[in-house]
């Protein structure tokens, strides 16, 4: 059994980035532990997990414990708010006042790269500051992780705190200024520990970059056209000048599939680095091209938040309608059918070239030249039976499906007509796919041509 999305039935983080514009991490400072109240034997949980604070109830500010889906938390000078003045995703969120604290009474096993959460000002209250602290010794002592955040807006914003620690960890939020001003906290997500290999990849099961970082993307704004962007539910190499991803990588298993409805909330990603153009929900309007998902909506149905993450416009490419709605949709559905049949899949999708043909004819760019129309759309799917230690289970005999389609409207609905090899895609893009695999395994898989059955 795997645990990466153990708590996906809750509402999770709004949107998540590895480089939050307003946050600069200070040096870690050790401080005394804050009491977390009376609680039973600590529980260790394998991360990653998402906590949306939807399942508990606490109507008073007095110190007390609350059981949420993720475990037992202590809320001190904090309660669970569900009024119209509470800033929240779903039905409720934490509301904190004075110098209140919100902390786990359990550990998250396996470490953390980042923690992301949503925050906003309650009602018409004034601004307040808060901080995140991490403990590696069961709550005996804590160090601050990331920067102090100021909550001043009346709509939810996203904060990302860099942790970069291994081992069993627990987290605590502390409101530090603002007096009786209240703030809301929601969508608390612990993201997988990044071991630093592959330019931000992780070899942990079910992680987005298990197969490697195809272009050596980095999360530096000095690398704007190969910018490594961790969206939690998928990871991408974003190309600022093209207004779209070079590639997107993600995992699909039973834990990522659920009953969440299609959010259909296409929107700009306001968390892109400062000064970068934000492709908007209407940027493709009238172009003759669909807003084509890289990571599909239907691959992320475990929670509403997971599904919403797929509708960011930096997960889109201008895709010919028949390509997107038929050929590609059939391929995506086939991938999920493999999961339903007892497998898990790792997927990398990308595009290259310029100039495609949509329902209104051929175009090189759209959105006044700010978004490039790719000439080709490709995907690689690695299929393994359900199990653990995924990377080590990928062998020369593993099934790999590689598909490369022209981005045109006059295209067959049968995706098997466009089966190719990983090597052919590498030659077309200049990328190194499957780079985390042993050289001999990678060499064998690069030249395999799937039958489509």
> What is the per-residue pLDDT across 320-360, written as a single tens digit (0 to 9) for each?
999 999 999 999 999 999 999 999 999 999 999 999 999 99
Quick one: fold of 30-190?
Jelly Rolls (2.60.120)
Secondary structure of 214-255 as H, E, C letters: CCCCECCCCCCCCEEEECCCCEEEEECCCCEEEEEEEEECHH
Secondary structure of 125-170 as H, E, C letters: CCCEEEEEEEECCCCCEEEEEEEEEEECCCCCEEEEEEEEECCCEE
Q: What does the alpha-carbon distance between residue 218 and residue 230 come to, in Å, rounded to a whole number?
A: 10
Please measure the distance between the N-terminal and C-terminal CA atoms of the chain and give it in whole angstroms: 27
Does the active-site annotation cover 293?
A: yes
Give pLDDT, residue 158: 77
Q: Which of 245, 261, 248 has the alpha carbon at shortest distance from 213?
A: 248
Name the pTM for this structure.
0.62
| Region(s) of the chain under CATH 2.60.120.260 | 30-190
Give pLDDT, residue 46: 39
Q: Please state, for a pLDDT cut of 90, what percent of the chain lies above it.
A: 68
Angle at 34 between CA 119 and CA 173, to 5 degrees: 10
What DSSP state is assigned to residue 191?
Answer: P
Q: What is the DSSP string of 31-74?
A: EEPPP--S--S--EEESPEEE---S----S-SSEEEEETTEEEE
Task: Identify how many contiguous H helices and E strands the chain contains and give both numbers.
Answer: 6, 26
Q: What does the alpha-carbon distance between residue 120 and residue 128 come to, in Å, rounded to a whole number?
A: 10
How distant is the alpha carbon of residue 347 from its chain centre? Answer: 14
Task: Centre a 10 Å sphere on the Cβ of residue 307 and count the other Cβ atoms it contains.
Answer: 23
Cis before 48 (ω within 30)? yes
Secondary structure of 312-370 as H, E, C letters: EHHHEEEECHHHHHHHHHHHHHHHHHHHHCCEEEEEEEEEECCCEEECCEEECEECCCC
Q: What does the alpha-carbon distance between residue 316 and residue 318 come to, in Å, rounded to a whole number?
A: 7
User: Do residues 231 and 245 lie in contact, with contact meaning Cβ atoms separated by under 8 Å?
Assistant: no
Quick one: fold of 227-446?
Extracellular Endonuclease; Chain A (3.40.570)
Q: What does the alpha-carbon distance between residue 223 and residue 229 come to, in Å, rounded to a whole number?
A: 11
Q: What does the alpha-carbon distance between residue 7 and residue 95 come to, in Å, rounded to a whole number?
A: 22
Task: Centre a 10 Å sphere on the Cβ of residue 346 and count the other Cβ atoms it contains.
Answer: 25
Give pLDDT, residue 247: 98
Q: Hey, what's the torsion of the CAs at 5, 257, 420, 210, to 10 degrees?
A: 0
Q: What does the alpha-carbon distance between residue 372 and residue 380 come to, in Å, rounded to a whole number?
A: 22
Q: Hey, what's the torsion of the CAs at 276, 281, 285, 289, to 10 degrees?
A: 80
Q: What does the alpha-carbon distance between residue 396 and residue 444 come to, in Å, rounded to a whole number?
A: 5
Residue ranges of the chain with per-residue pLDDT less than 70: 1-49, 192-203
Q: How many residues does the chain have?
A: 453
Q: What does the alpha-carbon distance between residue 47 and residue 448 come to, in Å, rounded to a whole number?
A: 34
User: Do residues 118 and 89 lie in contact, with contact meaning Cβ atoms separated by under 8 Å?
Assistant: yes
| Region(s) of the chain under CATH 3.40.570.10 | 227-446
Task: Centre a 10 Å sphere on the Cβ of residue 298 and count the other Cβ atoms it contains.
Answer: 19
Give pLDDT, residue 202: 57
Which is catalytic among the residues 293, 300, 379, 442? 293
Give pLDDT, residue 166: 79
Write down the residue that tokens 């669970």 correspond to.
80
């Amino acid at each position: 059994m795997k645990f990466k999305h153990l708590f996906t039935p809750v509402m999770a983080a709004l949107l998540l980035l590895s480089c939050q514009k307003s946050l600069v991490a200070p040096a870690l400072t050790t401080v005394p532990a804050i009491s977390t109240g009376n609680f039973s034997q600590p529980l260790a949980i394998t991360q990653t997990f998402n906590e949306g604070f939807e399942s508990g109830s606490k109507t008073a500010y007095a110190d007390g414990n609350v059981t949420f889906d993720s475990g037992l938390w202590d809320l001190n000078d904090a309660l669970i708010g569900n009024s119209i003045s509470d800033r929240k995703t779903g039905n409720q969120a934490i509301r904190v006042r004075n110098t209140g604290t919100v902390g786990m009474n359990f550990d998250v096993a396996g470490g953390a790269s980042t923690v992301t959460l949503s925050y906003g000002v309650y009602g018409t209250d004034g601004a307040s500051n808060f901080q995140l602290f991490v403990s590696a010794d069961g709550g005996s002592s804590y160090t601050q992780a990331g920067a102090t955040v100021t909550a001043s807006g009346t709509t939810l914003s996203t904060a990302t705190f860099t942790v970069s620690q291994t081992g069993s960890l627990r987290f605590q939020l502390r409101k530090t200024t603002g007096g009786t001003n209240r703030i809301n906290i929601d969508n608390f997500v612990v993201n997988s520990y990044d071991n630093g290999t592959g330019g931000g990849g992780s070899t942990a099961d079910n992680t987005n970059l298990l197969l490697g970082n195809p272009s050596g993307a980095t999360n530096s704004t000095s690398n704007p056209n190969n910018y490594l962007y961790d969206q939690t539910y998928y990871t991408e190499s974003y190309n600022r000048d093209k207004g779209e991803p070079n590639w997107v990588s993600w995992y699909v298993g039973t834990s990522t599939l659920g009953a969440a409805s299609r959010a259909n909330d296409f929107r700009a990603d306001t968390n892109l680095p400062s000064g970068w153009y934000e492709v908007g929900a209407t940027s493709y309007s009238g172009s003759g091209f669909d807003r084509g998902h890289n990571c599909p909506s239907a691959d992320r149905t475990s929670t509403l938040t997971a599904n919403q993450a797929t509708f960011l416009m930096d997960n889109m490419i201008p895709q010919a309608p028949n390509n997107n709605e038929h050929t590609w949709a059939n391929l995506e559905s086939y991938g999920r059918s493999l999961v339903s049949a007892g497998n898990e899949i790792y997927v990398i999708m990308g595009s290259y070239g310029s100039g495609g043909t949509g329902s209104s004819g051929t175009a090189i760019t759209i959105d006044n030249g700010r978004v490039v129309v790719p000439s080709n759309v490709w995907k690689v799917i690695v299929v393994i039976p359900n199990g653990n230690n995924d990377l080590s289970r990928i062998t020369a005999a593993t099934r790999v499906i590689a598909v490369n389609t022209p981005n045109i409207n006059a295209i067959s609905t049968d995706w098997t007509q466009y089966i190719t090899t990983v090597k052919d895609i590498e030659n077309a893009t200049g990328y190194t796919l499957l780079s985390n695999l042993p050289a001999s395994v990678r060499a064998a898989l690069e030249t395999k041509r799937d039958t489509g059955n």
